[in-house]
A = this chain, B = another copy of it.
């Protein structure tokens, strides 16, 4: 199976097709609809018995024209590399100009309170923690500022919010991503600013050379619209009613091509089907590749899939997601403990020749996690994390930044695990 995937696997070509044919696949967009068509065709081509669409209602947020932000330094306008966070409201049509104040944490925001914050733009400058070897841990630590920051600032009367972008690199790319407004508070426009610009703005603020910031955005939230999960399966020949799910998410943020996040997981999941089909392997249990819609700003696809699973009379035994990038695989996270976890680690030595040494008790990806409600075991593949937050939700998440061999090695290990579970059950 591994040799086929590494030499004849089509995942890299599929990724090119998806990224160039349907970049910026944000839920509700025309490109998301195109991605549904493209991947349905890919699943058929890969040899799925059955390919179908599963409808779900999704949010429909649009960024509008490119955002603007700048400050004035020594009489000169200094433009910032910014983007609105996903779900942000617009500024007034002429933008906002307001005094800017830098804070490093929610604690500092609380200390400043209404007196320090009222009428200002809050610049929240919290760098990701570089000492955490797993960058997802650093993301987990910092992401609260993106998700909760705008409302925390609005609580004290802020009129705008600018986040030091969540990136492990110093460069000019702002990264978008969901923010959640507390509905009891005013909704203020929320931006991310690139790490380079954040460093410079901070220096200039310390020198008291910057007083006000300008920000302008035209984002809008439109009514929910219908979209789809795309599902392709190979029916099991012994236990067809036991479902082994493998998937990634089909939607992506709108600033680039969603190559690592999560085109990689999509084409790897299709590759599982292709490899099984091409080698004439008829699994004992039904293997289903699912392209989940709307992971990024709603999770509606994962919810729709689990809701259907609760009522269709089938048995969902395992759900594996790939949503951590198409980098060299290093391990799996499995949502099981004790003897059930050991069923997985007993296979461990089979995976070592393919670079997988690590098995962690943990969760699945966001889209398969709801399957826990129908008693499925969930899991996710853990690729090397060092480069992920260079690209995540940013303008450089492009096909060209995915390595073919790394991507295919992920598919090799996913195929192996899905094959084992489909053969032996859990």
Contacts and interface: CB of A to CB of B under 8 A. Distances in A.
Interface of A: 2-3, 6-7, 130-131, 133, 135, 168-169, 328, 330, 353-355, 357-358, 384, 386-387, 390, 403-406, 409
Contacts of A406: 386-387
Contacts of A357: 357-358
Nearest to A354: B133
Nearest to A356: B357
Number of identical monomers bound together in the oligomeric complex: 2
Given A403-B390, A405-B386, A409-B386, A130 B358 contact: no
8 contacts: A6-B130, A7-B131, A133-B409, A328-B386, A357-B357, A384-B384, A386-B406, A387-B403
Contacts of A390: 403
A135 B7 CA distance: 14
Contacts of A168: 405
Contacts of A387: 403, 405-406
A169 B330 CA distance: 22
Given A7-B130, A130-B6, A135 B330 contact: no
Contact of A404 (B6, B131, B169, B353): B169
Contact of A135 (B135, B353, B386, B405): B405
Contacts of A3: 131
B2 A131 contact: yes
Contacts of A6: 130-131, 133
Minimum-distance CB pairs A-B, first 3: A357-B357, A386-B405, A3-B131
A286 to B, nearest CB: 29
A133 B5 CA distance: 12
A200 to B, nearest CB: 18
A8 to B, nearest CB: 9
B328 A355 contact: no
Given A6-B131, A169-B404, A386-B406, 5 more contacts: A2-B133, A7-B130, A133-B355, A330-B355, A387-B403
